[in-house]
Each structure stands twice: as C-alpha cells, then as structure tokens.
C-alpha cells in the first residue's frame, strides 16, 4: 500500500503537468501494487477477497484501455469489475437504513448529474448511451450496497468511485468537470485503495 501510495502521488503530478510518458506506466503500476496488497491483506472472507481482487484486476485492464483511448472496451472492463464488487458486497451483512441512505444518494446523483451524462452520451450514439446508462446503474448498486454494509471504509470507497466516474463522464459527454483530470485520478485511486482496505472489514453474513 505504501508503494502504491508513492506511485499514485507521482501519477497525480504527472496528470497535473501532462507528462503522459509517466502516466503510461504509473497508473497501471498503482493498480498492480493494490492488487498485491489485496492478495496479502488479512481477510474475514476469502470469497470477498477474491471478488475484490478480480474487480481490481479488471480496473487495471480498464486503465490500460482508457489510456489507449479505447473508451467502450475500457468502460466494459470497469463495468465487469464493478459487478465483481457487487458480488463481494452481496455476501456481507446489509443494514436497511444504510441501504436507504445509499439509494437516496444514488437517486440524487442520477437526477442532477447522471441524466445529463446519459443524454450527452446518447447524442453521440444510442449504443454508447445504453452502455453509459448500464454502467451508471451498476455503480449505483455498488454505492447502495457499500453504504448499506457495515464497512465505513467500503462506503467511502464506493462514494469516491461514484465521484470519479461522474467527473470523468461529465468531462467526456457534458463539459469541463471541476478539478479536471487530476480530480478524476485522485478520487479513482483512493477509491480502489479503499476497496483494498475494506477487505478486512467485510465478513460474510
């Protein structure tokens, strides 16, 4: 985790200063070390651990594809990775009050942000609009289940992921997003690190 953190800071600097040659290896390297940490960190459930490791691995694939400007394959990789997080979170204890809070958060984001993102993607292509809508649905489920879980760390990680995805999609389909690419990268990598740190706190119900 310490090595991942050092490389992540280097990656944020590279993004801020537009040093693409450093981004090319730094972003995937962060994920490699996070995956290693996820394999080694103590876990309440091996099933939950490996579901999250699978999600992280698909995040690594998505990072490489997005850097190569292959948005649809990259989004598909992240979509499947989020489904792996859904599997992990479905295995753990859920609290009805937390699920309700998560649902309210997702609904507000969908109404005020998601609707415009899907409309922007749809104007480019109905297929792209459908993919973006499906992606938003899945990340919404991740947020609801994470907030509903007993893990505060998982909830924070999911909310950071939602923030990162919303910023990225807004910049691509609507207009300039607050914080630019740096904000997208910081929230994304903190989210992935959060899911790693959540592994010891997620026990099967």
| pLDDT of the residue at 183 | 97
| pLDDT of the residue at 15 | 96
Mean pLDDT of the chain: 95
> In the chain, what are the domain boundaries?
2-201
Q: Enter the pTM of the model.
A: 0.94
Q: Check pLDDT > 90 for residue 204.
A: no
Instruction: Report d(CA 81, CA 75) in Å as an integer.
Output: 10
Residue 68 pLDDT level (bands cut at 50, 70, 90): confident
Instruction: Report d(CA 112, CA 110) in Å as an integer.
Output: 6
Q: Check pLDDT > 80 for residue 61.
A: yes
Instruction: Report d(CA 49, CA 92) in Å as an integer.
Output: 12
The pLDDT of 136-141, averaged and rounded, is 96
| pLDDT of the residue at 205 | 67
| pLDDT of the residue at 143 | 98
């Amino acid at each position: 985790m310490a090595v991942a953190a050092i490389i992540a800071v280097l990656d944020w600097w590279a993004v801020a200063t537009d040093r693409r040659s450093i981004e090319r290896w730094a972003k995937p390297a962060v994920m490699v070390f996070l995956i290693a940490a996820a394999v080694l960190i103590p876990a309440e459930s091996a099933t939950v651990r490996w579901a999250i490791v699978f999600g992280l691995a698909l995040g690594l694939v998505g990072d490489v594809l997005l850097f190569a400007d292959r948005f649809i394959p990259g989004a598909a990789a992240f979509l499947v990775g989020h489904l792996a997080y859904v599997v992990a979170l479905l295995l753990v204890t859920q609290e009805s009050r937390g699920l309700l809070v998560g649902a309210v958060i997702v609904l507000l984001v969908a109404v005020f942000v998601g609707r415009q993102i899907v409309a922007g993607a749809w104007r480019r292509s109905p297929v792209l609009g459908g993919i973006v809508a499906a992606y938003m649905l899945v990340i919404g489920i991740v947020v609801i289940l994470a907030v509903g879980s007993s893990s505060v760390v998982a909830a924070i990680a999911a909310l950071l992921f939602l923030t990162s995805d919303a910023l990225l999609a807004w910049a691509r389909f609507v207009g300039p997003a607050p914080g630019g690419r740096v904000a997208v990268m910081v929230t994304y990598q903190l989210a992935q690190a959060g899911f790693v740190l959540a592994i010891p706190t997620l026990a099967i119900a």
